[in-house]
Amino acid sequence: MMNQKNVLSSYQVRVAVDSNKNSEFIEFCHSIYNEFRKEIGFRNLNIYQDVGRSNVYVMVCEWEYQEARENHLRGDGFSLLKGGAIVLGKNFKLTIHETTTTEYSQWKRLTIPW
């Protein structure tokens, strides 16, 4: 049985950005973090960078409970995220599920000072 402390109500967005837009993508992450943290139930936003492909990122957005995540997915903050991923990315994939903290152990977790 999984440790319940490691299971989060979350979603993840995988984005492959144009290689010349890495800095712009990080700036975008700052702006959406500031929007998300205003929402009820927001816990954290973690950004992971693929070690082998520096232009591929996974954003894991954590929520305190499923209802907060669902409200977010219907709101303006998530629309902003989708729009930015479309503009900056070559492609992106959204996955909504319960995520464990060990799922990206082979990736480089970016330390971004929010």
Looking from the CA of 100 toward its CB, the CA atoms found within 13 Å total 7
The lowest-confidence range among 1-15, 33-47, 52-66 is: 1-15
Mean pLDDT of the chain: 82
pLDDT recorded at residue 104: 59
pTM of the model: 0.74
Distance CA(70)–CA(91), nearest Å, equals: 23
The CATH code belonging to domain 8-109 is: 3.30.70.100
For 22, list phi and psi in degrees, rounded to 5: -60, -45
